[in-house]
Amino acid sequence: MIDVHDLFLTLHLLLFCYWLGGDIGVFYSSGFAADPKLSIEARMMAARIMLGLDLVPRLCAAVMLTVGVVLSKFVGVDYPAWQMAAVILLAPLWLALELILHFKHGTPLGKAMQKFDNPFKWAIVVGCVVSFGWSFSTGRLDAVPWVGHKILVFAAIVFCSLMITKTIGPYIVGIQRIAEGVINDEENAAMAKSLKQCKWAVLGIWAGLVIEVVLGVVKPVG
């Protein structure tokens, strides 16, 4: 029979697989949507595939921190009751935010949540960094320092996603123009530039996910 630890460990591994795989699919299809050599119809189809796939890594990210914290309890990390309650509550709140942003885009609710999205994720970044510093300063993670390192890498991954949001604006405008059936050379150039500018952050997310896996498998204590 599968126990609670095995269940969460399986979920943790699946989240990594679908997050990284989905993110690679999003970036790959984004290039076709930005290619002016393709027809408007082909570019629109690529954009639909990209936007559909994009929900997968977003949902994985929303659940990952909560699952990781629950797993850390099995290696001896203790949390104050308020902190564990906050982390468990984080998953459904973050999931709800991503689902609203995806399915209610352009609606009053979607626009309201869009304004909340960046501050929410900045709070995640700051919270992870503060937790990392506090945990090591108090010696709570002396026996399992890799747990703290994974939290810090997660903060870096969320930071990269925020940098993508900061630079992807012209690309999104281009997608909207493609949906309207008309896009000019200037808008095509802006799409390509926007995609190029966020490439480092995309690669940063991929690298961060690989580092997370290595930390979880090797569990370095030095």
Rounded Cα–Cα distance for residues 52 and 38 (Å): 20
Its sign, for the CA torsion 212, 116, 198, 56, is: positive
- pLDDT tens per residue across span 56-86: 999 999 999 999 999 999 999 988 899 899 9
Q: What is the pTM of this model?
A: 0.95
Residue 98's domain comprises: 4-218
Cα distance from N-terminal residue to C-terminal residue, the chain? 35
Phi and psi for 140 in degrees, rounded to 5? -65, -30
Query: Could you tell me how many residues make up the chain?
Result: 222
Across the chain, what does the average pLDDT equal?
Answer: 94
Residues 5-16 have a mean pLDDT of 95
R_g of the chain computed on alpha carbons: 19
Total domains in the fold of the chain: 1
Judged against a pLDDT cut of 80, whether residue 1 lies above it is answered with no
CB atoms within 10 A of CB 24: 14
- The structure tokens 């970036």 sit at 27
118 close to 163: Cβ distance less than 8 angstroms: no
Judged against a pLDDT cut of 70, whether residue 107 lies above it is answered with yes
* pLDDT band, residue 222 (cuts 50/70/90): low
- Among the listed residues 10, 54, 68, the one whose alpha carbon sits nearest the alpha carbon of residue 209: 68
Burial bucket for residue 142 (CB in 10 Å: 0-12, 13-18, 19+): exposed
Rounded Cα–Cα distance for residues 74 and 72 (Å): 5
Residues 129-139 have a mean pLDDT of 92
